Amino acid sequence: MPGEDYRRYFEILELQPDASFSEVRNAYLHLKRLYSTESIVIHPIANEFSEESRQEVLQRIEDAYERLSALFQDNGSAYTGSRGQPLGPEEAGDVHEHVSFSGETLRQIRQGLGIKLHEIAFATKIRLQYLENIESERFGDLPPEVYLRGYIVNYARCLSLDSGRVARDYMKRYRDWKKKS
């Protein structure tokens, strides 16, 4: 939307205006969790702020995320989710409910978020080669199962996915392969 003040939305999500979509998504998930659950950061001031003001803050966060999602979609780098549908803010948390996570799904989600594999390698300290093998499911070239599971969990966290579910799905595929070979 021309003329719309997107700066404000970045500000609400506490980001610089040059933030990438994955940063926007991370910030959104972080803030949503912060203001919708009780934590050691919120608890000490909980009685000073009404439920109303908390809802107001949450609403502003939702709005900002919705606007920014639309902005990134218009720019063609949108994250469309694995069902090929544009990602609405409400479903952001559990859009992958019916998906079984394979190496290929992870790759698609990562590319959809506009994150490069070397960025994941940098953030997780997992060797790039292993990440490539994970996505291509070259199971024979992967480290032993106990290490692999840790890698998958870290990788899934990078994409703000439910790491437990991703690891479960992926490790099942790994074990199926192991049985066959």
Q: What is the 3 state secondary structure string of 164-181?
A: HHHHHHHHHHHHHHHHHC
Kindly tell me which of 30 and 149 has the beta carbon lying closer to other proteins: 30
In angstroms, give the least distance from the CB of 179 to other proteins: 32
Kindly tell me which of 43 and 180 has the beta carbon lying closer to other proteins: 43
Kindly tell me which of 122 and 177 has the beta carbon lying closer to other proteins: 122
In angstroms, give the least distance from the CB of 83 to other proteins: 23
Q: Which residues bind other proteins (CB under 8 A)?
A: 14, 22-23, 26-27, 30-31, 34, 39-45, 48-50, 53, 57, 123-124, 157-160
Kindly tell me which of 12 and 142 has the beta carbon lying closer to other proteins: 12
In angstroms, give the least distance from the CB of 175 to other proteins: 27
DSSP 87-136: PPTTTTTTTTTT----HHHHHHHHHHTT--HHHHHHHH---HHHHHHHHH
In angstroms, give the least distance from the CB of 6 to other proteins: 18
The backbone torsions φ and ψ at residue 63, rounded to the nearest 5 degrees and listed phi first, read -60, -50
DSSP 72-87: HHHTT-----TTSSPP
